[in-house]
Amino acid sequence: MRKEIIVVTITGIFLGILVAFGVWRANNALRVNSSDNSKGLFSAKLSPSPTPNNGFSLTIAKPEENDVLVEEKTVISGITKPSTLVTISTETEDYVVAADSQGVFELEVELTGGVNQILIDAISDNGEENQRQLNVIYSSEFAKEISK
C-alpha cells in the first residue's frame, strides 16, 4: 500500500511539472516584447512582414466606422499617396476625386436612410491599389432625438 502511494505521488508531481512547463512555454511563445525580439521561443514568427504596397496606404479621416450621421450629405476625407485617383462608391452613386499634392482628398457624398456601405478605392499612377470599406448610418430620426 505504501509503495502505491509513493508511485502515485511521484507520477502526480511529474504531471504537474509537465503541465506547468507547457503553460510557461505557451506564455513565452505568445508574449510580444518590443524592446528585445530575441526573447521568446517563436520571435522570428512574430516579427512583422513588410507591406506589399511599399508604403502605398489609404487612411480615412472622417467619418469613422459605424458613425451615426444626422444629415443626408457627409464629407468623406482621408490621406493617400499624392496625385492618386480615389473612387468612392456609395449605395446609389459612384464618385471620383483626385488627391492633392500632399495626398489629401475630400468629397461630399449623399447617403441613404439606414446603414450605408461605402467602398473607397485608391489607384496610383503605376497601378497600385488600396481599398477600404466603411459603414456609416444615416438617421433623420436620431436628429430629432438630439434636438430635444
Taking only the tens place, the pLDDT of each residue in 25-73 is 877 777 654 444 444 444 444 334 344 445 678 889 888 888 888 888 8
Domain ranges for the chain, please list them.
2-46, 59-147
pLDDT of residue 56: 74
C-alpha cell at 18: 509537465
The dihedral region occupied by 60, where left means phi > 0, alpha psi between -120 and 50, and beta the remainder, is beta
C-alpha cell at 121: 478605392
How far apart CA 73 and CA 112 sit, in angstroms, is 9
How far apart CA 52 and CA 71 sit, in angstroms, is 38
Domain 59-147 belongs to what architecture?
A: Sandwich (2.60)
pTM for the full predicted model: 0.58
Q: Which residue has the higher pLDDT, 22 or 111?
A: 111
C-alpha cell at 15: 504531471
How far apart CA 134 and CA 119 sit, in angstroms, is 6
Looking at the chain, how many residues does it have?
148
Query: Taking the alpha carbons of 51, 56, 61, 66 in that order, is the dihedral positive or negative?
Result: negative
For residue range 89-143, list pLDDT tens digits in order: 988 899 999 988 888 999 999 988 888 999 999 988 888 888 999 999 888 776 6
* Residue recorded with cell 516584447: 33
